[in-house]
Amino acid sequence: MTKTQSMLAALFCTFIWGTTFIAQDTGMDLIGPYVFNTTRFFVGFLALLPFYLLLERRNTETVISKNKKRFVILSVIIGINLFFASLFQQVALLFTDVANAAFFTIFYVPMVPIIVFFLFKKKIHWSVWPSVLLCVVGGYFLTNFQDATVRIGDTLVVICALFWALHIIFIGIIIKEFNAPILVGLVQTFIVSICSLIPALIFEEFIWSNILSQKIQILYAGILSGGIAFVLQIYAQQNIAPAPSAIIFSLEGVFATVAAWIILSQILNINNIIGCCFILAGVLISQLLPEFKRA
C-alpha cells in the first residue's frame, strides 16, 4: 500500500468513525449499550472473517511464529482497551449529544504522548501542555454545565478517550512487529463482542425483535466501523507519520458534528462551536509543532 493509499484509507476510516456516532446514538432506541456493542462487534468479526481467510490465513503462521506469546498478549491488550473505549463511548451517548461525544473522544490525540512518556519514558514535546490546556478550555465551552446529565456523559467520553489513546499506542506497537492487520482486527472485534456479552447478559435483555429493529445501525456500526474502519486504521498507521494521521483522525469530530446536524438536527450554540474550535486547535498543535521543529 502506497502512502497516498494510506492517506485515503485514514480519511475514509475517519469518515466512517464520525458518521458511526449517528448509528450508535439512534441504535439504542430499543436496545441497551451492552447489547448494541455485543451485536455490533460480532457483526464486525463476521465481516472480517472472509477477508482473513482469503488474504491472510496462509501467512499467519509465518508472521506470528517468531513470537506467538507476544502477539497474543498485545492482541488481548488491544482488544481490552477497545472494549473499554467503546463501552464508555456507547454509554455516554445515553447522556450527551453526538457532537460532544465526538469532540471529547479526540482528546486521545494529546493524551497519546503523555501516556507514551509514562509507559516507555519517551520525551514529551512542550507543545503537548498548551494543547491539553486548549482541550480543557474547549471542554468547558462544549459542556452544558447547568445540565448534570450532560456532564456525566462528557466525563464518560473523556475516560473513553484514555482507552482510545492506549488502543492507538498498542496498535502502533503490534503492526511494527507483526504484519497481520486483518488478523489483529479479527481478534479485537471478537474480544470486544465477548467482553460486551457479559454485562449484556447481566444487566440487559436480548430481545431479537428489538435487535432486528435496529439492524441498519448495527450493520453500519458493525461492518463499516467495527470491522472495516479499524483495519483501515491499521493499514494507515503502517505508512503515515503520526502528525498527518492524527490530523486526519481528529476530523472524526467534524464529520460527526455535521452528520448530527444534518440527520438528527442537533445544532450547536455559539459556546459549543467555540469549544469545538479550541479542542481541534489543541489537537492540531500537539501534532504539528513537533513536526515543524523536525523540518
Residue with cell 463482542: 193
Give CA–CA dist 69/91, Å, rounded.
Answer: 33
Report pLDDT digits (tens) over 145-184: 556 566 788 889 999 999 988 998 898 888 888 888 889 9
3-state secondary structure of 140: helix
pLDDT of residue 103 exceeding 90, the answer is no
Q: Which of 140, 139, 168, 161 is nearest to 236 (CA)?
A: 168
Report pLDDT digits (tens) over 51-96: 899 888 888 888 888 788 999 999 999 999 999 999 999 999 998 8
Comparison of pLDDT for 84 and 107, the residue scoring more: 84
If you average pLDDT over residues 26-54, what whole number do you get? 93
Comparison of pLDDT for 118 and 203, the residue scoring more: 203
* Residues 170, 103, 78: CA angle, nearest 5 degrees: 15
pLDDT at site 163: 95
pLDDT at site 38: 96
Q: Which residues does 131 contact at the CB level (< 8 Å), separation at least 6? A: 109, 110, 282, 283, 285, 286
Comparison of pLDDT for 292 and 202, the residue scoring more: 202
Whether 21 contacts 220, CB under 8 Å: no
pLDDT of residue 240 exceeding 60, the answer is yes
If you average pLDDT over residues 203-220, what whole number do you get? 94
If you average pLDDT over residues 9-19, what whole number do you get? 87
Amino acid type, 143: T
pLDDT at site 145: 57
pLDDT of residue 122 exceeding 60, the answer is yes
Judged by average pLDDT, the poorest of 44-48, 74-78, 146-150, 224-228 is 146-150
